[in-house]
Amino acid sequence: MNVFFCVAIHGDAFMQKKSQTKNQHYVPQFYLRSFSEDGHGIRTFNLSSGKVIPHAKLKYQCSKDYFYGEDGTLEKALGGMETAFSLTFKKCLELNPKERISNEDFYLLSMFVAVQYMRTKKMIDVVEQFGKETYGTLAKLCIEINKLNVPLDQVKIETDKDFPRYVLRFGILQQPLLMDLECVVLENETREDFVLSDNPIVFQNPLLEEHVKYNCNGMASRGLQIYFPLSPRRVICFYDYDAYKFAGKNVIGLRSPKDIEQLNRLQFMNAEKNIYLKDDNVACEKHSLFRTTHIDAQLDPVGKYENPLKPNNYLFRISPSSINIGFKLSIFSIKPTMLREAYQGHRDLRKWVRNEKTEFLVREFAQAVDNGLCEDADYAKFREQKVNEILNSIKRSKWMNKLCLNKKT
């Protein structure tokens, strides 16, 4: 009995010839070069061995043979996106405190987050494990409910060979959820540099992390913060404006060594194998103690959380385990009104989202794409269509009410 874990994808690229680009990167080379002295080699701290490689070849870092498939279509598409991303990175590195990140660059940064978050080897492995655990539990459940005479050890869970493509596409479809966040550049004014990991996009939630067992770090989650380094001296931060008050806008200076330590620790926690650093002024051994790689998968009765009237339904709750380091920077505070709302006990914090309407619209959009009703890049058009449908519905309702009043008179 085979269960295939795969997602629908559109396009006719699968019949193309084998790509000439065999070594395919899941962290762009332009990004890695920001942490390189000469653009060819990069100082690398290997987490398993605890050793520093002073000049590892950059072109072999964060890469795998045919990681995105052998036809080269996705690799080429990502290359085009990376050109735009690199230009936006350059602008952010040159941004001064009086300048604000433009709307266009904000969009590109949010798209970079969505793409980069889902494209690394660690994330692909995590999602694949999610899928196997979920479908393994489903298979067991189906056998028990239907009383099938199938030994469980004969159930084989496999992933499609183009699985990374599907995961990346999911991230792109979720990108609109990030557009309501604020964005600032954090400037390192201490002696210790920022580091970069092979899984550099880090989601945090200081608002909820101490009070919720499972991560509340979804793209739509209330209290979300996102961090990723641009260079050894600058980090980008996305944050929920309603939840946090930051000590400035545009570019904020970090003078406390503890802030740098906290941000670097996030990279160590999130890494798969390697940490990249431009200089040897970072205490790698100390930070390497903080790591999280384990995945928890649970099958819970939906009736316990969702619908007491249907106790035979099931809810899958799968979440990466996290190490609570008490993440806090000196340049932000949690807004008191949000703290009160979070802990007055009237809501399920796991499902607390910043904008329920946007989340619902994005889910509808993803469904429409899967059904072939629109393309991946048509979210703005899809949203406009839905808004017009609502406005037309309101107009019809007002017209009907007016008609009814006229009939009464």
SS3 content of the chain, % helix, strand, coil (to 5): 40, 20, 40
155 and 20 in contact (C-beta within 8 Å)?
no
Both tokens assigned to 63:
């890469």
Summarised one tens digit per residue, pLDDT across range 218-265 is: 899 999 999 999 999 999 999 999 999 999 889 999 999 999 999 999
> Which two tokens mark 267?
């990279």
pLDDT of residue 379: 82
Answer yes or no: are the C-beta atoms of 353 and 347 closer than 8 Å.
Answer: no
Place of tokens 């939906």: 302
Given this model, what pLDDT does residue 86 score? 96
Rg (alpha carbons) of the chain, rounded to whole number: 23
Whole-number pLDDT of residue 17 = 57
H-helix or E-strand containing 260? helix 257-270
Pairing label, strands 182-188, 251-254: parallel
CA pair distance 19, 290, nearest whole angstrom: 38
Question: CB neighbours of 151 closer than 8 A, spacing ≥ 6?
Answer: none
**Residue reference for tokens 């009814």:** 404
Q: Is the separation of the CB atoms in 53 and 83 below 8 Å?
A: no
Q: If pLDDT is split at 50, 70 and 90, which confidence band does 384 have?
A: confident
181-204 pLDDT per residue, tens: 999 999 999 999 999 999 999 999
Judged against a pLDDT cut of 80, whether residue 303 lies above it is answered with no
Q: Residue with structure tokens 């808004």?
A: 387
Residue 164 lies in a domain: yes
Inter-helix orientation angle 163-174/121-146, to 10°: 100
For residue 71, give the 3-state DSSP assignment. Answer: coil
pLDDT exceeds 80 at position 25: yes
Distant-in-sequence, close-in-space partners of 222: CB < 8 Å, separation ≥ 6: 207, 208, 216, 240, 242, 243, 338, 342, 352, 353, 354
Instruction: Please check whether residue 405 lies inside any domain of the structure.
Output: no
Are the C-beta atoms of residues 172 and 376 closer than 8 Å to each other? yes
- Name the range with the highest mean pLDDT among 123-132, 264-273, 368-377: 264-273
DSSP H helix total and E strand total for the chain:
11, 17
Amino acid present at 209: E
- Could you tell me which residue, 287 or 375, shows the higher pLDDT? 375
361, 386 Cβ separation under 8 angstroms: yes
In the chain, % of residues over pLDDT 70 = 73
Residue 132's pLDDT is 72
Residue 43 falls within a domain, yes or no? yes
Give the number of other Cβ atoms within 10 Å of residue 114's Cβ: 22
List of residues 6+ apart from 340 with CB closer than 8 A: none
Q: How many domains does the chain have?
A: 1
Integer CA distances (angstroms), 50 to 20, 45, 285, in order: 35, 7, 7
Is residue 46 within 8 Å of 197, Cβ to Cβ?
no
Q: Is 265 part of any domain? A: yes
Average per-residue pLDDT for the chain: 80
pLDDT at 155 over 80: no
Please check whether residue 400 lies inside any domain of the structure: no
pTM for the model stands at 0.82
Dihedral-angle region of residue 361 (phi above 0 means left; psi in -120 to 50 means alpha; beta otherwise)? alpha
pLDDT at 10 over 60: no
> Which residue's structure tokens are 């945090």?
204
Domain containing 100 equals: 2-382
CA distance 316 to 135: 10
Residue 16 clears pLDDT 70, i.e. is over it: no
Domain assignment present for 303: yes
> Is residue 392 assigned to a domain?
no
State the DSSP code for 161.
Answer: T
User: Which pLDDT band holds residue 4 (cuts at 50, 70, 90)?
Assistant: very low
- Residue 391 domain-assigned? no
Element housing 340 (H / E): helix 336-342
pLDDT digits (tens, 9 = 90+) for 101-119: 999 999 999 999 999 998 8
Q: What is the pLDDT of residue 345?
A: 66
- Token pair recorded at residue 393: 């519905």
Catalogue the E-assigned strands of 6-109. Answer: 23-25, 41-46, 51-57, 63-65
Q: Which of 90, 159, 89, 119 is nearest to 25 (CA)?
A: 119
